Structure formats: structure tokens, C-alpha cells
Amino acid sequence: MAFLFLKHLIKLAIILMSMTKLNLSRFDFVSIRLAVLCAQTESLTTAARECYLVLPAASRRIRELELAIGSQLFERHSRGLRVTPAGRVFMRRGLSLLQEIQAMGKELNDLQQGVVRHIQLFAGSAAISQFLPPLIASYSRANPELQVDLEERFSEQVVLALREGQADVGVFVEGVNWDGLDAQPFRSDELVLIFPQGHLLSGKKPIAFADTLDEQWISLNPGAAMLQQQLIAANGLGKPLKLRMQVNSFDAVSHMVSSGLGIAMLPKTSALPLLKSMNLSWRPLKDEWTKRRLLVGIRKGADADVQAFRDYLLLP
């Protein structure tokens, strides 16, 4: 994480110095945080208060940043600030840098507490809701000097994070292009249909996905492997997937279905505990693509700690 922090800092410094002859003494982290807060709140007064600065000092810092960068970050008007295109770029890059500083501080503090290594694990909702929590817990008990930091991402984002070095280990649904990575089978799951009790699609025998496409659907947001599989399957059948709503989590999907807003598809192990509490029913699907395989991946040449954790996840 410290390496990523330095990487972001160097990249930002190079960009800024390429734009103008920059006086780095006028470009500190307080000013970065102030500018990011100005962009987020569109209020210099609010941002100054959050940074414990008096208003004239905050205004001076923003002017010095704009002079150093050679671009106007904000347009001033009677009701506050309006972020310019340069301001949006600065906010995005500056926020990333501030997050890296915060993460570095946490890791340094953990080091004082005996944690000598953080392993960044990125995984999709299916892996987190069905498989990973007990594995992480048991590994952490056996290896207290190593801390596993888990982030939930869609499968495509997991693979991208592995390639870019943000993640050490990733768990994702098979089907994403993982060329250049070392990936091995982790677990399998099965997607099932869920709907309110008494729905017209109720039944115990497996149903074909094609027979569900006249219904309104609830699914995950763009980028989710499950949504991609649904869209590809519907397209192959020459029918549209009637997406009524898209949400971020399995729990939110279940609540939408329970309210009668549509039907959905979820991993069976995640769906079954929700059925009784939300008055839902489920039905298996005939289609082979609903039987999925999850993979665990690392970068080729990963260090011994990362390989050891990956190997632990692969234990039967």
C-alpha cells in the first residue's frame, strides 16, 4: 500500500510539473484535502471549516493551487463554487491520493501492533456471501501477523485490480478474461430463480430461462458477472431482458422481489436463507450456464505470502 501511495504521489507530481514549473512548497496535503472538499461540497466555507482553516487562509490556498497548476479549479458565484473540468480531475486524483495516505497510516499503525503484512483480497458478492468469511477468519487466527483486507467488487473489477496491482488475490466468476494471471478453480455455485410466494412461475421442476423473459427483472448493477450472463443468454434467445431495477447487493435484490417489483436470479446458497424472512419462493433453472465456477487468481510471480494465502483458499 505504501508503494501505491508513492506511485500516486509521483504520478500527480509529474502531471503537475509537466503543466507548469511547480513550486512544490505551495502544494501540500492540507491544500489537496481542501480542494477535494471544495469540489465535494461546492462550498469554500464548509471545506475551510472541515480543514480547520479560517476563510481567508483557505481562499489563499485555493488561489495558490490554481496558480501552481495553471488551471482554474472552481468558478466562484454567489451561492458557492462550481467545479471546472480541471477541478474534477484534481478531485478524482487528489481523493485517490488522500485515501492512499489514510491507508498507509493504518498499515504503519498495524505494524506497531504486530501486523507485518496486509494482503489485499478483492472478491465478488457470490464469493463473499457464500464462501469467504469463514476462510478469512480461520486463516487470520492461524496467521495473526498477516491481515487480509477484503473489498467487494464485480468480477471484471476484481481482474482489473489484480492486473493493476491494487489486489493481491482475487475471487471472480469464470467467464471474465483473466489472461496473464494465475487462476485456479475455487468453488462452484448455482443460480436459481426467486420470486414472491404464489407467483405464476411457482413450481418445483427446473424452468428454462427462456420461459421467464416475459417477466420484469431485478438484477445487479452493470459490471456484475451474473447480469452479464443474463444479458448474453437473453440475447442468444433473441429476446430482451426486461430490467426494471438494478441494485448493488443480493440483499437489495431480494427486498425488491419481496415487494413484488419483479423476479430475480441469485446464487442458491445466498438465496435460501432469505426465503422465509422475505416470503419468497425459488425454483431451479434448466440452463447449464446457471451452474457457475468461481476462480481464485493472483499475479504470476506473486510473493510467498500471497501464494500461501491463495493455496489456503484452495484447500478442500
Please report, in tens digits, the pLDDT of each residue of the chain (316 residues total): 444 555 555 555 555 445 445 555 556 888 889 999 999 999 999 999 999 999 999 899 999 888 888 889 999 888 889 999 988 988 888 888 888 787 777 777 766 666 678 899 999 999 999 999 999 999 999 998 888 999 999 999 999 999 999 999 999 999 899 999 999 999 999 999 999 999 999 999 999 999 999 999 999 998 888 999 999 999 999 999 999 999 999 999 999 999 999 999 999 999 998 888 899 999 999 999 999 999 999 999 999 999 999 999 999 8
Instruction: Identify the structural domains of the chain with CATH numbers, from first to last.
Output: 2-111 (1.10.10.10), 114-316 (3.40.190.290)
- Locate 72 and state its grid cell: 482554474
CB atoms within 10 A of CB 117: 17
| Cα 208 versus chain centre, distance | 32
* Neighbour count for residue 57 (Cβ, 10 Å): 13
Query: Exposed e or buried b for every residue in 123-153, given b needs 16+ CB within 10 A?
Result: bbbbbbbbbbeebbeebeeebeebbbbbebb
By 3-state DSSP, what share of the chain in percent is helix, strand and coil, each rounded to 5? 50, 25, 25
- Angle between helices 268-278 and 250-258 in degrees, nearest 10: 40
Q: Which of 192, 174, 176 is nearest to 294 (CA)?
A: 174
pLDDT of amino acid 84 = 92
pLDDT of 79 reads: 83
**What confidence score (pLDDT) does residue 24 get?**
54
